[in-house]
Copies of this chain bind each other. A is one copy, B any other.
């Protein structure tokens, strides 16, 4: 199957693009369609790399607007955990399908997920056409015996996710150091190393997490994880609000990725945002994520990258902190080996966006500044993953049915 895109604007030049077997085969001003190519006329559209959502809980579209304005632990205990106890695997499938629709509509073509029923998440990802790193979640409530009992199930889920095909990467998703025992974390780290798959965990989201860890373990969270063998090039540490300089240096040394989630951090008022200047100074790999819809409340990485840049300027008191080009590179997953965003180049996966160049928000001279500060996800006209058109003229297949499914399931779960 081959696809040709004609007349797209790239860095002020009109280019064509040919896609074969899901990869970019040709790209440049003189590229022409070949006989038998499917065709996209991209006149007036801007060609750009897509966004990579570095941390989310996709199926939580089921819980949008459920318990807004509550503190993190109270919200988890009184709203989310009881509702999640009622979750059926099929709910997770549909919740994830809706998240995929929303991500496609706002220019994200790959995400790192952490949620229950990973097998259903993987199925939804496959059906939606998007890419994802899908976790097998683990919470043993700090009980190593319980954790040991869960291991066969974890391995089985991992194997089933691994069968989902080339657009799905299996990973291990222990929730956090305050919900998973050190024995289980060490075991997951070992499995992750053996299978060469990502480890995905929440880390240092609240100040309480840091003080509890320091009190109980005599060390801060990153050092604690490192001593369990958890930090490496495939480790993804979401939030990282309270990481200090020493922890960021350790994380950088291990090659692990910290993922900022500014909207969720501000909405839940956890007291800060990822200390980006310190993370950058340490040389840490960095990503950006929306977190779940229930703590954001959307999955729009264009909105998130603006919040990321603005919250960092606000925190540092310097408008030059986190310039647009760097914020955008992070949002595209280009500053992390795990997020592994791709560039527009021959041989790369054919994952890209076509933006509506006539939208008034894109009227400035600096395209990076436009995309970060002015545009919302609604500027995306067309989204293509592995050479397959997932959205054209803002229409995503089955979007209304999927929305309806989630609305009725949400009522059952939260009513």
Contact = CB atoms under 8 A, between A and B. Distances in A.
Interface of A: 61, 64-66, 68-71, 98, 101-102, 105, 263, 265-269, 271, 293, 296-298, 300, 303, 306-307, 309-311, 313-314, 316-321, 323-324, 358-361, 363-366, 369-370, 373-378, 399-400, 402-403, 406-407, 410-411, 414
Nearest to A298: B374
B310 A400 contact: no
Contacts of A318: 71, 269
A59 to B, nearest CB: 13
Given A267-B319, A360-B61, A360-B98, A373 B303 contact: no
Nearest to A75: B319
Nearest to A370: B65
A324 B269 CA distance: 15
Given A65-B369, A400-B358, A303 B376 contact: yes
A365 B268 contact: no
A377 B374 contact: no
Nearest to A404: B358
Contacts of A323: 69
B300 A376 contact: yes
A325 to B, nearest CB: 10
A211 to B, nearest CB: 15
A298 to B, nearest CB: 5
Contacts of A378: 376-378
Contact of A376 (B271, B319, B360, B376): B376
B366 A65 contact: yes
A362 to B, nearest CB: 9
By DSSP majority rule, is chain A's interface helix, strand, loop, or mixed? helix
A410 B363 CA distance: 9
List 3 tightest A-B contacts by C-beta distance, closest first: A65-B364, A378-B378, A297-B373
Contact of A311 (B266, B268, B296, B309): B266
A314 B366 contact: no
Contact of A365 (B66, B265, B306): B66
A296 to B, nearest CB: 7
B267 A297 contact: no
A237 B360 CA distance: 28
Given A360-B98, A376-B378, A297 B369 contact: yes
Given A303-B303, A303-B376, A358-B403, A365 B410 contact: yes
Nearest to A267: B310
A313 B269 contact: yes
A94 B68 CA distance: 41
Contact of A363 (B363, B375, B406): B406
Given A360-B102, A376-B303, A266 B64 contact: no
Contacts of A64: 361, 363-364, 370, 374
Contacts of A263: 310
Contacts of A364: 64-66, 297, 410
Contacts of A98: 360, 363
A6 to B, nearest CB: 21
